[in-house]
Amino acid sequence: MQFDDDLIACAEAVQKGDPERFQATMAAPVAARPLLFALYAFNIELSRAPWASQESMIAEMRVQWWRDVGAELAAGAAVRRHYVATPLARLVKPEAAVVIDAMAEARRWDIYRDPFEDEAAFDHYIDATSGGVMWMAAASLGGASKAVVRDYAWAAGLANFLRAIPELEAQKRVPLLDGSVEGVRRLAERGLDRLSSARARRGEISVAARPALLSGWQAEALLQQVRKEPHRVAAGEMGLSEFRKRAGLMWQAGTGRW
C-alpha cells in the first residue's frame, strides 16, 4: 500500500509522539509499515484523549469518539473522515477492531484519580491497552495465537507503564496497588513470567504476524532491570543505553525471534 497524505501524517505523529514504536515500525518489513503506523497513531490519539481536558465530561467525550470509531470499524461500516480512522478502515480487519471498545473503556481510568480496585483491574488495564493494540496488529498481519500475543503484550505494556509512574504520580494519579520496593519487584516478576509463557509458544505466531511484536523488544531487559533494582521505577531511572536499544531491535528484527 502506498503512503498517501493520511499515512504520512500517521507516520509523522508516531515519530513525534511515540519514537520507540516509530523505530520498531521502521525495523519492520516495508509491507507491514502502513498498518503499524496507522495503529500506533490511533494508539497515540486514544491514549491522549483522557488528558485532553481537566473537565471529565470533555475527556469522556473524546474517549467516546474513538469508541464510536471502533464500533464503525468492527461493523465494517463507513468510518468518519479522520487522518487516522480513514487508513485504519482500510488496513485493520473488522474482527480485530472489536478490541477497540475494551481499549477505550480501559482508558477511562486515565480520566479520573481513583486507584485500581484490585489486581484484576490493574491486569485488565494493561491487557486492554497494550494487548489490544498488539493483538490488532498481529491479527491484521497474519495468523497468531491471541493468548500468546496478549501474554507478550502484557509484559511489554507493564514495562511501559512502569516507566510512566513518575509522570502519573505527578498528575495526582495512584498507578500502583503496591508501590513498595517488593511490590514493584513482584510486578516485574509477573511480567517476566508472562513473557516466558509467550516464548514457550513462539511457534504459534506466524512469520507474517511477527512485526506486530517488535514494539516490545525492550520488555525483557527493562523488567529484568526493575526486578534487580526496583527503586528505579519511582526515581524515573528505567531505561537502556542507546547502543543496547538499537542492538536489541536489530537482533529481533533480523532473526524474527522475540
What Rg value do the Cα atoms of the chain yield, rounded? 17
239: amino acid identity, one letter? G
Cβ 208 vs Cβ 145: under 8 Å? no
pLDDT at position 2 is: 75
- State how far Cα 58 lies from the chain centre: 24
Name the packing angle between helices 242-255 and 19-26 (round to 10°).
Answer: 40
Measured distance CA(100)–CA(181) in Å, rounded: 34
pLDDT at position 1 is: 62
Q: Which of 67, 90, 65 is nearest to 78 (CA)?
A: 90
Q: Cite the DSSP H helix spans in 127-180.
A: 132-141, 146-163, 165-170
- By CB atoms closer than 10 A (0-12, 13-18, 19+), residue 164 is middle
Per-residue pLDDT tens listing for the chain (258 residues) = 679 999 999 999 999 999 999 999 999 999 999 999 999 999 999 999 999 898 999 999 999 999 999 999 999 999 999 999 999 999 999 999 999 999 999 999 999 999 999 999 999 999 999 999 999 999 999 999 999 999 999 999 999 999 999 999 999 999 999 999 999 999 999 999 999 999 999 999 999 999 999 999 999 999 999 999 999 999 999 999 999 999 999 999 999 999
43: left (phi over 0), alpha (psi -120 to 50) or beta: alpha
pLDDT at position 71 is: 96
Place of cell 498507578: 175
- State how far Cα 228 lies from the chain centre: 24
Measured distance CA(182)–CA(206) in Å, rounded: 37
Q: Which residues pair with 205 in a beta bridge?
A: 144
Its pTM stands at 0.95
Measured distance CA(138)–CA(150) in Å, rounded: 10
pLDDT at position 141 is: 97
